[in-house]
Amino acid sequence: MPPTERQRTPTELQRKGRTMRMTYDDKADVAYIALVDEFTGDFTIVQSVTGLRHPEGINPVEIALDLDVKGRLVGIKILHAKQGVPPEFLTLCERINP
């Protein structure tokens, strides 16, 4: 591969120069999918909305949606991730606080 090309890692998905980053915090049991490269300028997170909980309370999983100053979705936070996503997803995430 030419040195000018960036190799894709399992924690990043690239398309047209944009990167989606997936992280997992072991200590907090929180997975995060960032849909933008940086949370600056128009992409600054100004609101986080809890978007999903199981209606019958089968598990404590909560999904929060992070919105920027224009109301666009810029990130997805999954609380209690070990119970809410397939283990294969967590193995692909960059580890924070392992």
pLDDT > 70: percent of the chain: 72
Q: Can you tell me which residue has the tokens 């989606």?
A: 20
Q: How many domains does the chain have?
A: 1
| Confidence at residue 36, expressed as pLDDT on a 0 to 100 scale | 81
| Confidence at residue 39, expressed as pLDDT on a 0 to 100 scale | 66
Average pLDDT over residues 60-84: 89
Q: What is the pLDDT of residues 15-58, one digit of tens each?
A: 555 567 899 999 999 999 998 877 666 667 677 777 677 777 77
| Confidence at residue 8, expressed as pLDDT on a 0 to 100 scale | 47
Q: What is the 3-state secondary structure (H, E, C) of 26-70?
A: CCCCEEEEECCCCCCHHHCCCEEEEEEECCCCCCCCEEEEEECCC
Residue 14: pLDDT above 80? no
| Residue 59 structural domain | 17-96
- Whole-model pTM: value is 0.72
Does 56 fall in a domain? yes
Render the burial of 47-71: b for 16+ CB within 10 Å, e for the rest. Answer: eeeeeeeeeeeeeebbbbebebeee
Does 35 fall in a domain? yes
Q: Which tops the pLDDT comparison, 13 or 87?
A: 87
Does 9 fall in a domain? no
Does 71 fall in a domain? yes
